[in-house]
Homo-oligomer: A and B are copies of this chain.
Amino acid sequence: MSRKDACFDSLVTRILAMDLQPGLDLDEASLASHYGLSRTPLREVLQRLSGAGYVTISENRGAKVASMDITVMRVFFQTAPMIYANVMQLAARCRTTAQLDRLKDAQRAFKSAGLEGEAQDMALANHRFHAITLEMADNPYLGAAMNRLLIDHTRLSQTFYRPSSADDAALVATAIEQHDAMIAAIEAREGALAIDLTLQHWDLSRDRMERFVRPDPLPVDVLSMKGRRHAF
């Protein structure tokens, strides 16, 4: 793997893990020296990251890590269930056994991260799980949408996870069970079941994050989504 690709992957991971916080200014020179590249290839990496939605670039003002405000969350909740569900259905239809094995591996990692209780590890493991289902679906159009959703999902879930909360611990346990059920549905190629499980799993994630947002005075619109959560 080229140094450039390694740099790309590293930045992706660091952004997903919020090691690089939303809105952070990315300095070309220091990043280049950090990854042992000159500015030319590093800038190309930033362009690619921009195209994939990890960073935003503005003329003469450099690159920033993609921001995450309350507006983003509203649209995110609006869109995620539909895309996730359709991807999961396709995954059940198209998956190979090799991909299924990798999904089971990812689930094992998710479980152990869940036991540890580290928000970052759990979020990244969850990301990897869904990224594999996306690969199974083998649909570049939905892939483009879901990769962007996964960026925000991964970061939001870390933002709204409280390690001390017994409530959250229970939610994690449920998430693990649902992942297992999804794997079974995908293995059995039961697309409709996979959709149903995904919507449930998604509701779980949303509940966890929405409870945080609800008391916030600014996002009044989030409340109006109650009762028509995924009105598609």
Contact = CB atoms under 8 A, between A and B. Distances in A.
A76 interface: yes
A53 B144 contact: yes
Interface residues on A, range: 35 or more
Copies in the complex: 2
A226 B197 CA distance: 9
Contacts of A44: 43-44, 47
Contact of A192 (B52, B78, B231): B231
Contact of A225 (B2, B140, B148, B192): B192
Interface in A99-142: 138-142
A86 interface: yes
A230 interface: yes
A145 interface: yes
A138 B43 CA distance: 28
A60 to B, nearest CB: 10
A218 interface: yes
A199 interface: yes
A232 B228 contact: no
B86 A230 contact: no
5 closest A-B pairs (Cβ-Cβ)?
A51-B51, A145-B145, A47-B47, A144-B144, A85-B222
7 contacts: A76-B141, A83-B141, A144-B144, A192-B230, A196-B225, A196-B226, A199-B223
